């Protein structure tokens, strides 16, 4: 029971940043006037979040999946993730919108939360550090996801309600990972590789193009800073 309580606590702390990022984004939207500074901050935030998501693929999702699975299933699952989100992205676009930031956040957050629960029984310290890493990732990603939802016509309150509900998804994912996947490393690895393929598709199809700002080169540095956060997290995780 003590282990479960710790998993719930750590996954709650890492998940609440989904809602906090939305709140910060709402304050930013309301209190900063339109102009070059605001546009630069928005594009830098998108690039920063993209850098963190790429780091999650490079340091957590893809490597852990590659450790467990052989070449053919590894390649098939990675491509399956990309193809699945190619069709999902097209479907959403035909409906007149895009929620790439939200999808990328979930494709990152949920598999890592499952991994948190799956590894916690064997290594508490690794579980704690992974929870910190997830929480740091969620903040800029949910900041951008809020703006993404607003651009699609959602009200501020509805955006925050969506992010508030999603902040609890990490608890269910982590507890499920502990109970269902602690002894099923191949299934956990498959989920991570599928997510990796989907994330990379979303990054280069939707997120990276949105980070570019005409006559400004500063936002692109946000990718490097975001990726550096991932490097630091990986160094701490050992």
- In this prediction, what percent of the chain has a pLDDT beyond 90? 23
- The whole model's pTM is what? 0.80
Residue 118's pLDDT is what? 82
Burial bucket for residue 164 (CB in 10 Å: 0-12, 13-18, 19+): middle
* Residue 190 · residue 73 · CB < 8 Å: yes
How does pLDDT run across 180-203, given as a tens digit for each residue? 887 888 888 898 899 889 888 888
Q: Max CA-CA distance within the chain?
A: 56
Q: What is the DSSP annotation of 97-160?
A: ---HHHHHHHHHHHHHHHHHHHHHTT-HHHHHHHHHHHHHHHHHHHHHHHHHHHHTT--HHHHH
* Residue 117 · residue 180 · CB < 8 Å: no
How does pLDDT run across 85-125, given as a tens digit for each residue? 888 878 777 765 566 778 777 877 888 888 888 877 777 77
Q: Residue 36: is its pLDDT beyond 90?
A: no
Provide CB contacts within 8 A for 44, sequence distance 6+: 211, 218, 219, 221, 222
Provide CB contacts within 8 A for 76, sequence distance 6+: none
Residue 35's pLDDT is what? 62
Residue 95's pLDDT is what? 65
Structure tokens at 15: 């998940």
Q: Residue 57: is its pLDDT beyond 80?
A: yes
How does pLDDT run across 156-186, given as a tens digit for each residue? 999 999 999 999 999 999 999 888 887 888 8
Residue of higher predicted confidence among 203 and 74: 74
Task: Report d(CA 61, CA 221) in Å as an integer.
Answer: 23
């Amino acid at each position: 029971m003590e282990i479960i309580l710790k998993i719930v606590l750590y996954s709650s702390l890492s998940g609440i940043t989904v809602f906090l990022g939305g709140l910060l984004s709402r304050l930013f939207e309301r209190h900063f006037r339109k102009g070059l500074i605001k546009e630069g901050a928005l594009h830098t935030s998108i690039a920063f979040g993209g850098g963190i998501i790429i780091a999650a693929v490079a340091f957590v999702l893809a490597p852990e999946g590659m450790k467990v699975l052989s070449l053919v299933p590894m390649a098939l699952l990675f491509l399956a993730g990309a193809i699945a989100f190619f069709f999902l992205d097209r479907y959403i676009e035909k409906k007149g919108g895009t929620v790439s930031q939200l999808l990328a956040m979930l494709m990152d957050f949920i598999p890592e939360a499952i991994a948190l629960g799956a590894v916690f029984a064997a290594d508490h310290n690794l579980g704690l550090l992974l929870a910190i890493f997830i929480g740091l990732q969620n903040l800029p990603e949910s900041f951008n996801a809020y703006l993404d939802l607003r651009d699609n016509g959602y009200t501020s309150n509805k955006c925050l309600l969506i992010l508030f509900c999603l902040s609890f998804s990490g608890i269910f994912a982590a507890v499920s990972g502990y109970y269902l996947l602690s002894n099923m490393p191949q299934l956990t690895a498959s989920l991570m590789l599928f997510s990796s393929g989907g994330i990379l598709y979303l990054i280069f199809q939707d997120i990276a193009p949105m980070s570019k700002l005409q006559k400004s080169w500063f936002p692109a540095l946000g990718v490097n800073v975001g990726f550096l956060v991932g490097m630091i997290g990986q160094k701490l995780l050992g």
